[in-house]
Structure 1
Amino acid sequence: MSRPADVTGEYDVVGVGLGPFNLGLAALLDPVPDVNAAFFEAAPRFAWHPGLMLPGTTLQVPFLADLVTLADPTSRWSFLNYLHERGRLYRFYFYERFHVPRAEFDAYARWVAESLPSCRFGARVTSVSPAGDGWRVVVETADGGVEEHTARSVVFGVGTRPHVPAVARDVLGADVFHTEDYLTYREKAVTASAVTVVGSGQSAGEVVADLLEAGLPGGLTVDWFTRSRGFLPMEYSKLGLEHFTPEYTAYFHGLPGPTRDEIRAGQDLLYKGLSAETSERIYDLLYEATVDRADPPVVYAGGCELRAIEPSPVPGRRWRLTWRQRDQDRTFTRDTDVVVLGTGHEPSPLPLPDGVVAADALGRPEVALDYRLALASGTPSTLFAQNAELHTHGVGAPDLGLGAHRNSVIVNALAGREIYPVRDRTVYQSFGVPEEVRPDDRT
Structure 2
Amino acid sequence: MQHFTLFGVGIGPFNLSIAALARDIGELNAGFADAHSSMTWHPGLLLNDARMQTSPLKDMVTAVDPTNPLSFLSYLVSKRKIYAFMAAQMQTISRLEFADYLAWVASNIDNLMFDNPVEAIEFSDNKFVIHTNKGIFTSEHLCLGTGKRTHVPEFARPFVGEHCIHASTIGREDHDGKQRSYEGKTLAIIGGGQTGADVFLNLLQGQWGKPKKVIWISRRPNFQALDEGVFSDQYFTPNYGELFYGLDKEVKQREISQQKLTSDGITSVCLKDIYQHLYHETFIQGNVGKWVLQPHRTLTGLAKQGSGYCLTLVNGLTEKTEQCQVDELVFCTGYESSLPAYLGPIKDKLALDEKGDFQLNKAFRVKWNGPETNHIYAVNAGLNSHGILEPQLSLSAWRSATIINDLLGKSHFDLTQEVKLIDWGHKELQQETASSY
By the TM > 0.5 criterion, same fold? yes
Partner secondary structure for residue 291 of structure 1: helix
Q: Is 1:107 the counterpart of 2:97 in the alignment?
A: no
- Distance in 2 separating the partners of 1:261 and 1:378: 31
What's the C-alpha RMSD, in Å, of the aligned pairs?
Answer: 2.0
Residue in structure 2 matching 1:223, options 212, 215, 225: 215
Summarize the Cα distance change of 1:241–1:134 in structure 2 as closer, same or farther, 3 Å threshold.
same
Match in the other structure for 1:144: none
Q: Is 1:162 the counterpart of 2:150 in the alignment?
A: yes
Residue in structure 2 matching 1:46, options 39, 42, 53: 39
Match in the other structure for 1:92: 85
- Aligned residues of 2:60 and 2:70 also touching (Cα < 8 A): yes
- Aligned residues of 1:23 and 1:67 also touching (Cα < 8 A): yes
Of 23-32 and 423-432, more deviation after overlay is shown by 423-432
Residue in structure 2 matching 1:80, options 69, 73, 77: 73
- Distance in 2 separating the partners of 1:21 and 1:216: 32
Q: Is 1:395 the counterpart of 2:383 in the alignment?
A: no
TM-score normalised by length of structure 1 = 0.90
Match in the other structure for 1:279: 271
- Distance in 1 separating the partners of 2:268 and 2:254: 27
Summarize the Cα distance change of 1:50–1:215 in structure 2 as closer, same or farther, 3 Å threshold.
closer
- Distance in 1 separating the partners of 2:103 and 2:209: 36
Summarize the Cα distance change of 1:215–1:421 in structure 2 as closer, same or farther, 3 Å threshold.
closer
Partner secondary structure for residue 138 of structure 2: strand
What fraction of aligned residue pairs are identical, expressed as a percent? Answer: 27
- Aligned residues of 1:189 and 1:338 also touching (Cα < 8 A): no
- Distance in 2 separating the partners of 1:278 and 1:388: 28
Match in the other structure for 1:150: 138
- Aligned residues of 2:339 and 2:356 also touching (Cα < 8 A): no
- Aligned residues of 2:140 and 2:374 also touching (Cα < 8 A): no
- Aligned residues of 2:11 and 2:32 also touching (Cα < 8 A): yes
- Distance in 2 separating the partners of 1:416 and 1:48: 31
TM-score normalised by length of structure 2 = 0.91
- Distance in 2 separating the partners of 1:303 and 1:296: 18
Match in the other structure for 1:197: 189
Which AA in structure 1 matches 2:247?
A: L
- Aligned residues of 1:226 and 1:301 also touching (Cα < 8 A): yes
Q: Is 1:318 the counterpart of 2:311 in the alignment?
A: no
Summarize the Cα distance change of 1:372–1:288 in structure 2 as closer, same or farther, 3 Å threshold.
same
- Distance in 2 separating the partners of 1:228 and 1:246: 30
Residue 91 of structure 1 and its aligned partner are, at CA, apart by 1.8
Residue 85 of structure 1 and its aligned partner are, at CA, apart by 1.4
Residue in structure 1 matching 2:333, options 335, 343, 348: 343
Residue 405 of structure 1 and its aligned partner are, at CA, apart by 0.3
Summarize the Cα distance change of 1:216–1:117 in structure 2 as closer, same or farther, 3 Å threshold.
closer
- Aligned residues of 1:17 and 1:158 also touching (Cα < 8 A): yes
**What runs of 5+ residues in structure 2 fail to find an aligned partner?**
429-437
Residue 294 of structure 1 and its aligned partner are, at CA, apart by 5.0
- Aligned residues of 1:15 and 1:156 also touching (Cα < 8 A): yes
- Distance in 2 separating the partners of 1:346 and 1:213: 30
Match in the other structure for 2:116: 123
Residue 286 of structure 1 and its aligned partner are, at CA, apart by 0.4
Residue 267 of structure 1 and its aligned partner are, at CA, apart by 2.1
- Distance in 2 separating the partners of 1:77 and 1:241: 25
Residue 109 of structure 1 and its aligned partner are, at CA, apart by 0.9
Q: What is the number of residues matched between the two proteins? A: 420
Residue 377 of structure 1 and its aligned partner are, at CA, apart by 5.7
- Distance in 1 separating the partners of 2:142 and 2:188: 42
Partner secondary structure for residue 283 of structure 1: helix
CA offsets, 1:295-341, max 9 Å, x none? 2422212221112221225xxx6111111123432111100011000
- Distance in 1 separating the partners of 2:184 and 2:206: 11
Q: Is 1:266 the counterpart of 2:258 in the alignment?
A: yes
Of 223-232 and 31-40, more deviation after overlay is shown by 223-232
Residue 47 of structure 1 and its aligned partner are, at CA, apart by 1.0
Partner secondary structure for residue 243 of structure 2: helix
- Aligned residues of 1:227 and 1:302 also touching (Cα < 8 A): yes
Partner secondary structure for residue 293 of structure 2: strand
- Distance in 1 separating the partners of 2:144 and 2:191: 29
Residue 56 of structure 1 and its aligned partner are, at CA, apart by 1.7
- Aligned residues of 1:245 and 1:427 also touching (Cα < 8 A): no
Match in the other structure for 2:433: none
- Distance in 2 separating the partners of 1:262 and 1:72: 34
Residue 187 of structure 1 and its aligned partner are, at CA, apart by 4.8
Q: Is 1:382 the counterpart of 2:370 in the alignment?
A: no
Partner secondary structure for residue 32 of structure 1: coil
